[in-house]
Amino acid sequence: METNIQRTRNGRSVKLLIIVAMVLIFGTTSRFSPAVAAPRGSGLAATLPAATCALVSGTRTCDVWAKTGTLTLPGAVTVPIWGYADSSGGAASLPGPTLIVNQGESVNIVLHNVNLPNATALTFPGQTQVPDITGVTAGNSKTYSFGAGALSPGTYLYEAGLTSTGPIQTAMGLFGALIVRPTGCVNCAYNAATTFDDEAVVVLSEIDPAFNAAPTTFNMRNFAPKYWLINGKSFPDTGTINTTAGNRVLLRYANAGVTQHSMGVLGLRQTVLANDGKPLNYSYQTVAETIPAGATLDALTTIPASAPTDSRYTLYEAGNHLDNNGTRTGNMINFGGMLTFLTIPASAPIPTPTNTPTTAPINTPTNTPINTPTNTPTNTPTNTPTNTPTNTPTNTPTNTPINTPTNTPTNTPTAAPNQIFTNGFESGNFAAWSSAVNSPSRITVTTTAGISSTFGMRALISGGTSGYVQDTSPTSETQYHARFYFNPNGATIQTGNPQNILVALNASNQNVFQVQTRRNNGQYQIRASVARVGGTTITNWYTISNAYHSIEVAWQAGTSASISLYIDGTLRQTLTGLNTNALRVDTVRLGPQSNLGGVTGAEYFDNFASTRTTYIGP
């Protein structure tokens, strides 16, 4: 068994291949040429959550489960991997879940070895840590603790530690990104000079199928990558990075691979801020920069304010292969490898919370585009000032009188109010809802179901039936946010049959999106499902406890739209690149609604709210 894996950290990469020259010709800036197809994978989160993992009494605890799994590559090629999962029942992923903590917090990272053939440990390059050369064997766990303030702000890797097979484990996929956010500076990489509007983690790695097939006997001197990955995907399966014209995008590069990679953004410059989580005294601009194996790099790039809708800027490896094992169409080598795009979607990205999600009331001012009176005819000349709040900083409300002739309306385009509907069942009944199905036989308003107030909704499930409340106040909505609280309350939810607890429908009662729950290995889980052209796309499952949790979903219509799932104020996943252009939200149903056979018990719901454009929060 050969375990001496030496990452290449010195020297420059090979010269640009002819295929890169093709990218330079076909993919300069602006709208992308048909010479290369757009990525078909889910998008990379354009704004990451403020933090992940659970925070209790100032200590944030993150759990990762090391286990065996598989990875599907372009061309339906499947290779075995070892990866980290974000729950005991979750699948091994490559890379592992992104861990996000805040400066000043005490942090515990718990490693669970589920079924790896050897002991495994964790290491955190760039952080002060006593090396763990023993690790933990299958079926056991170990906690790595960092005291308050021990972790410095920046982008880091976490990966398999320094056991005898640690290097092999890292090459097999046991790695992920760790982000430490600075205190006192919202949307900053390090300080006020490093602010950003959007951010994306870009984890780089390679696959040699021969190594993955026999990791314990493979001689790493023969390691020859055939696939080059961004966040575990190779083009055209890579996810795009959605942004907006004029935005500053923070690219958090983390090279978890065995070789160095030079990353560039075609048509844009990058400002390099830090290496390995250490801010540079003097930042510098570059077209492409080499990231050594095992290193991280933070860079800012700015999207031109004049960039039109649907523009794409190529993010790619500037000094290596851009193919997938040399796959050809005829005599032409197909594009592949480390290649994706910073994209300005046809529909603007769904607003997501900043590092400090707001929990302010959702009855915000109406988003009126211009500061003029509404369309109200009068029978006499008027000279009455009209103050209309605006969400655009440059449109300051004024008290300018408007002289309106008799019976002549002033036509003013006024946007629909942001808030759609809110109800916490405090009336003690369902009168505020458009309808209540199977009330009171299955659903009732009770004090036992209230989360933090007097009342909540209790949904009894028996005999394969339950009930739900329905809101029909949405009107052909192209953007829709819904937040509610859900408590499984010990219900015997089935493992293999996900249960819908929130369903959005269009005017023809076709499914638009759903929030679903299930119980897996005794643990309750939540995911989102969204209809699109050609089928349905789902998020991963995320574990919740048997208690009340805030669930929020943000959906939009468009040819390259997205849906985001939040649990307890933390963004769990954003799916992008969805063609939902033909769908609109007209009806929303809250309560157990499908796959109820064999389910017994009562589930609790409370504090429903919906908006058109803004994040609601817990």
Domain-embedded: residue 368: no
Residue 375 has pLDDT above 90, yes or no: no
Domain limits for position 263: 18-39+188-343
Q: List the CATH number of the domain containing 274.
A: 2.60.40.420
- Most confident stretch, 110-119, 230-239, 597-606: 110-119
Assess contact for 68 and 92: CB atoms under 8 A.
Answer: yes
In a domain, 261, yes or no: yes
Given this model, what pLDDT does residue 345 score?
A: 77
Distance CA 472, CA 342 (A): 37
- pLDDT for the residue 379: 38
Where residue 464 sits, what CATH number does that domain have? 2.60.120.200
Average pLDDT over residues 480-502: 89
Please check whether residues 284 and 226 belong to one and the same domain: yes
CA-wise closest residue to 437 among 588, 607, 606: 588
Q: In whole numbers, what is the pLDDT of the chain averaged over residues? A: 82
Residue 586 lies in a domain: yes
Note the pLDDT tens digit of each residue in 324-345.
Answer: 988 888 888 889 999 999 998 7
Q: Report yes or no on 229 lying in a domain.
A: yes
Same domain, yes or no: 112 and 229: no
Give the pLDDT of residue 263. 95
Residues 162 and 291 in one domain: no
Of 74 and 251, the structure prediction assigns the larger pLDDT to 251
Claim to verify: residue 293 and residue 170 sit in the same structural domain: no
Give the model's confidence band at 89: pLDDT under 50 very low, under 70 low, under 90 confident, else very high: confident
Burial label, 328 (beta-carbon count in 10 A; 0-12, 13-18, 19+): exposed
> What is d(CA 43, CA 540) in angstroms, rounded to the nearest whole number?
14
CB atoms near residue 329 (< 10 Å): 7
d(CA 103, CA 106): 9
Q: What local confidence, expressed as pLDDT, does residue 496 receive?
A: 66
Check: CB of residue 277 under 8 Å from CB of residue 252: no
pLDDT in tens, 445-475: 999 898 866 899 999 998 888 999 999 999 9
Residue 504, pLDDT > 60, answer yes
First to last CA, the chain: 52
Does the pLDDT value for residue 363 go beyond 70? no
Q: Would residue 211 count as lying in a domain?
A: yes
Lowest-confidence segment of 141-155, 265-279, 372-386 by average pLDDT: 372-386
Peptide bond just before 413 cis, omega within 30 deg: no
- Whether residue 589 contacts residue 468, with contact meaning beta carbons closer than 8 Å, is answered with yes
User: Cα–Cα distance between 181 and 223 in angstroms, integer?
Assistant: 36
**What confidence score (pLDDT) does residue 600 get?**
86
Residues 501 and 537 grouped into a single domain = yes
**pLDDT band (50, 70, 90) for residue 367:** very low
In the chain, the percentage of residues whose pLDDT exceeds 90 is 54
Single out the residue in 343, 369, 393 at which a domain terminates: 343
Same domain, 425 and 335: no
Q: Are 220 and 251 part of one and the same domain?
A: yes
Q: How many domains in the chain?
A: 3
User: Would the pLDDT of 526 be above 50?
Assistant: yes
Residue 607 pLDDT greater than 90, yes or no: yes
CA-to-CA distance for 271 and 153, rounded, in angstroms? 18
Q: Is residue 47 assigned to a domain?
A: no
- Do residues 50 and 354 touch, judged by C-beta distance below 8 A? yes
- Residue that is last in its domain, among 343, 378, 407: 343
Q: Identify whether 85 is part of a domain.
A: yes
Give one DSSP letter per residue of 9-33, joined into a string: -SSPPPPPPHHHHHHHHH-SSSSPP
Question: Are residues 105 and 204 both part of a single domain?
Answer: no
Considering only CA atoms, which of 404, 414, 413, 464 is closest in space to residue 438?
464
**Which SS3 state, helix, strand or coil, does residue 419 take?**
strand
Do 295 and 436 lie in a common domain? no
Q: How many residues does the chain have?
A: 618
Extract the tokens encoding 457. 């909704």
- Last residue in a domain, options 181, 203, 235: 181
Structure tokens belonging to residue 253: 């590069």
Q: Does residue 353 surpass a pLDDT of 50?
A: no
Peptide bond into 377 cis (omega under 30): no
Q: Is residue 172 part of a domain?
A: yes
Residues 534 and 444 in one domain: yes
In sign, the C-alpha dihedral spanning 460, 466, 471, 477 is positive
pTM comes to 0.58
Whole-angstrom Cα distance, residue 501 to residue 565? 14
> Measured in whole angstroms, how far is the alpha carbon of residue 236 from the centre of its chain?
19
% the chain with pLDDT above 70:
80
* Same domain for 572 and 447: yes
Is the same domain home to 471 and 511?
yes
The β-bridge partners of 523 are 520
